[in-house]
Amino acid sequence: MAATRHPILLCALLPLLAAPLRAQARSPELEHARQLLEGIPENEVHQGGELCAQQDNVRAVELLLEVLRRTRAQTAQHLPPGHYRDIVWDYLLRIKDRYARERVELELRNSRDPHVRQWCAELLGIYGDLEFGEPLRKALHDGDDHVQRWAARSLGAMRYERASADLLALVAHANDYVRANAIEALARIDAAASAPALAKAIAGDRSGGVRCALLGAAPEVCADRVEELSAGALADADWRPRMQAVENLGRIRSKSAVDGLVRALRDGRPVVAVRANGELQALTGQKLTIAEGWERWWTDNRQSFTFPEARGTASPPAGSNRTVAYHGVPIDSDHVAFLLDKSVAMEQTLTKTGTSKDQAARDELARVLGLLDEKLVFNVFCYDTEVVAMEKHAVPLTAQTRARAIAFAKAPCRGKAKDIWQALETVLADPAIDTAYLLSSGEPDTGLYVHWNRVTRHLADLDRFHKLVVHTVAYSDNKWFRDQLQKIAEVTGGHFEWAQ
């Protein structure tokens, strides 16, 4: 048991610990690391993080945590940027020393910043040491929902049984993320005992996002019931559980799973039907593309059908709207969002068109909206350090909303930076939207998460509930910037395009 959890033992050990800590403080490597971590160039911060990971001790973790604590206000006026938090995160993941990891636990208990407490709860779950089960169990009672939900997720990953009663108290929590993570954690800790509650939540939780997230966890926590639960979810009133059901069924080699996927081809949400088509192709090896063809083929071949040895790949479905594409990315959805960068970088000239990037973006939006029909439900968002939506919620495409969108897109480019994470969170807040087209002049400059490692991690976590596909378009000649946007697309199953 860790000494920091036993005051009497800690007092006895203090003399023994003091000398090593003093030695760490005097370490020339760590002093150099401190100087590098306080620098402005990103390569220096990486060097400082590498030194800390190599030292792998309490003082090294303290230096990394100092960067993790940085806020936007603290990093104004030529101080190191706050998004260097994203850099040191990867080095905190590499910490192995038990006492160094306990310094993260101490931060979880003592930090006044809820974001820092959340990140420490994440880290302890990634470390996976059951010694950290108790502080995570106590974090379930934190006053911040984000800390609670990540503590629950970490405890589930660790299968920490002693937290069961505390988790049970959260299964009716008002926050969807807390509630879902608590239910999932209980299922991971004791699948047999929690299976009825999990199935009940998948079928009847008040939130479609929660039903979706828990169905997504089903292959891991109740593999014997995945097909049954997924087949039932195909009739869910919310498109998100239906989408997750299609994904689950596509991984099951059974004729009844194919039955469900063939039914899903008639789903009222185009993205669900398109996904069902792709899953059927990959599962059966057939390259059919329309519902009628699949139904005839399956009726004729169901009895004699045998699955191919290896899962195949999907071809573009002919029935989708392949004639309309946004910067080369097909529009297969009828509930979309367009996100337009309004930072000053968009005033630069786009090589291919010879016009400003902003003008090119507006022209492309106008072209696409002119080609799409009134079956579309959409919204437009302009973002820099703030995000402004054309409408509070997505609206049907009409002559009036098309004109309003084109006028809205003419907003001037004034932002000195752009917060892509905030833009993505804003779109995720509308559960009607299933597909987003994110256009940017380059990588994010500011925000809670900036570098792709943290943007994609947290986007993937939220997407368990939202199933949002993000297609990205880069107006940048910088490969590093393009790579950031490509990673964002990939984590959601989206496409990336480079508009030169």
Q: Residue 130 sits in a domain of what CATH number?
A: 1.25.10.10
Q: Same structural domain for residues 169 and 240?
A: no
pLDDT category of residue 316 using cuts at 50, 70 and 90? low
Q: Same structural domain for residues 102 and 248?
A: no
pLDDT category of residue 13 using cuts at 50, 70 and 90? very low
SS3 449: coil
Q: Same structural domain for residues 386 and 469?
A: yes
* Residue 391 within a domain: yes
Q: Residue 383 sits in a domain of what CATH number?
A: 3.40.50.410
Mean pLDDT, range 463-485, rounded to an integer:
95
Which residues sit opposite 381 in a β-bridge?
Answer: 339, 389
Q: Same structural domain for residues 486 and 369?
A: yes
Q: Same structural domain for residues 156 and 244?
A: no
* Residue 216 within a domain: no
Residue 442: pLDDT above 60? Answer: yes
CB 185, CB 167: distance < 8 Å: yes
Choice between 10 and 429, residue whose per-residue pLDDT is larger: 429
* Residue 202 within a domain: no
Q: Same structural domain for residues 265 and 149?
A: no
CB 439, CB 361: distance < 8 Å: yes
Instruction: Give the span between the Cα atoms of 96 and 310, in whole angstroms.
Output: 39
The DSSP secondary-structure symbol of 391 reads S
SS3 377: strand
Helices within 222-318 (DSSP H only): 226-233, 239-249, 255-264, 270-284, 291-301
Residue 8: pLDDT above 80? Answer: no
Residue length of the chain: 500
* Residue 154 within a domain: yes
Q: Same structural domain for residues 382 and 478?
A: yes
Q: Same structural domain for residues 389 and 330?
A: yes
Q: Same structural domain for residues 291 and 233?
A: yes
Mean pLDDT, range 439-452, rounded to an integer:
89
Q: Same structural domain for residues 369 and 428?
A: yes
Choosing from 184, 211, 232, the residue where a domain stops is 184
Among candidates 186, 150, 180, which has minimal Cα distance to 166?
186
In terms of residue numbers, what domain contains 149? 29-184
pLDDT digits (tens, 9 = 90+) for 16-28: 444 455 455 568 9
pLDDT category of residue 72 using cuts at 50, 70 and 90? low
Q: What is the pTM of this model?
A: 0.91
Number of domains in the chain: 3
Strands 395-396 and 435-440, how do they pair?
unpaired
Among candidates 210, 278, 321, which has minimal Cα distance to 493?
278
Q: Is the dihedral of CA 200, 203, 209, 212 positive or negative?
A: positive
pLDDT digits (tens, 9 = 90+) for 279-298: 999 999 999 999 999 999 99
* Residue 261 within a domain: yes
Mean pLDDT, range 238-243, rounded to an integer:
98
Q: Same structural domain for residues 262 and 358?
A: no
pLDDT digits (tens, 9 = 90+) for 189-225: 999 999 999 999 999 999 999 999 999 999 999 999 9
pLDDT digits (tens, 9 = 90+) for 344-388: 999 999 887 889 999 999 999 999 999 998 899 999 999 999 999
348-356: Cβ within 8 A, 24+ apart: 348/441, 350/475, 350/499, 350/500, 351/477, 351/500, 352/499, 352/500
* Residue 201 within a domain: no
* Residue 2 within a domain: no
Among candidates 94, 448, 247, which has minimal Cα distance to 457?
448
Q: Same structural domain for residues 291 and 396?
A: no
Structure confidence at residue 24 (pLDDT): 59
Choosing from 184, 214, 237, the residue where a domain stops is 184
* Residue 407 within a domain: yes
